[in-house]
């Protein structure tokens, strides 16, 4: 999937999680941004990705040693990130947001023919039986759909809050 699709899905899931867990606007924005940012993180193994372009040296090193869609697209990576964030004393809610973002990325990449090494370091690739070409019509349609769903969630929440103020 493209970076746009990963970002749109991360924003959708971050918005959904924030709306379910807090009414504080600042916390909601931070949760959405954290989920969105972490939804791009697994592609750090690809120097041409949205995140890889900003940390080229690290991106090339990860790609050289592990390849694309291996380490950074696995349960192992999710565990590493959770441990690192815990060691950095990051608030639990933001650790959850980060893991949701990474999981959203992995799930979308499982919808491509190449799949992901979900059980890294085992070399087995996991892909959905129904898959779509990266950058194809379905990929771009998903990005649009996720964006509309995010707008719909926000609209429904605003409508719900408005009704609760009236009553």
**pLDDT single digits (tens) 95-104:** 999 999 999 9
How far apart are the C-alpha atoms of 114 and 117, rounded to whole Å? Answer: 10
pLDDT of residue 69: 92
On the question of pLDDT at 11 being above 80, the answer is yes
How far apart are the C-alpha atoms of 124 and 67, rounded to whole Å? Answer: 14
Residues 6+ apart with CB under 8 A from 70: 45, 116, 117, 120
| Sign of the dihedral defined by the CA atoms of residues 80, 84, 87, 91, in that order | negative
Q: How far is CA 29 from CA 54, 70, 117, in A?
A: 23, 31, 32
For residue 141, the Cα-to-chain-centroid distance in whole angstroms is: 17
How far apart are the C-alpha atoms of 54 and 151, rounded to whole Å? Answer: 29
How far apart are the C-alpha atoms of 30 and 123, rounded to whole Å? Answer: 35
DSSP for 16-43 reads: HHHHHH---HHHHHHHHHHHHHHHHGGG
| Long-range contacts, 131-134 (Cβ 8 Å, 24+) | 132/1, 134/1, 134/2
Residue 46 DSSP one-character state: -
47-71 pLDDT per residue, tens: 888 898 999 999 999 999 998 899 9
Query: Mean pLDDT of all residues in the chain?
Result: 93
What is the pTM (predicted TM-score) of this model?
0.92
Structure confidence at residue 163 as a pLDDT band (50, 70, 90)? low
151 Rama class: left (phi>0) / alpha (psi -120 to 50) / beta:
alpha
């Amino acid at each position: 999937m493209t970076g746009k699709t990963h970002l749109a899905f991360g924003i959708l899931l971050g918005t959904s999680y924030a709306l379910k867990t807090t009414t504080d606007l600042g916390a909601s924005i931070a949760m959405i941004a954290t989920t969105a940012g972490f939804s791009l993180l697994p592609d750090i193994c690809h120097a041409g990705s949205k995140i890889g372009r900003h940390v080229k040296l690290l991106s090339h090193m990860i790609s050289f040693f592990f390849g694309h869609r291996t380490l950074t697209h696995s349960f192992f990576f999710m565990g590493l990130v959770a441990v690192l964030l815990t060691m950095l004393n990051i608030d639990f809610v933001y650790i959850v947001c980060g893991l949701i973002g990474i999981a959203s990325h992995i799930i979308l990449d499982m919808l491509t023919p190449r799949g992901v090494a979900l059980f890294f370091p085992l070399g087995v690739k996991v892909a959905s039986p129904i898959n779509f070409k990266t950058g194809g019509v379905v990929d771009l349609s998903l990005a649009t759909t996720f964006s509309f769903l995010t707008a719909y969630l926000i609209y429904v929440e605003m409508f719900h809050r408005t009704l609760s103020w009236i009553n």
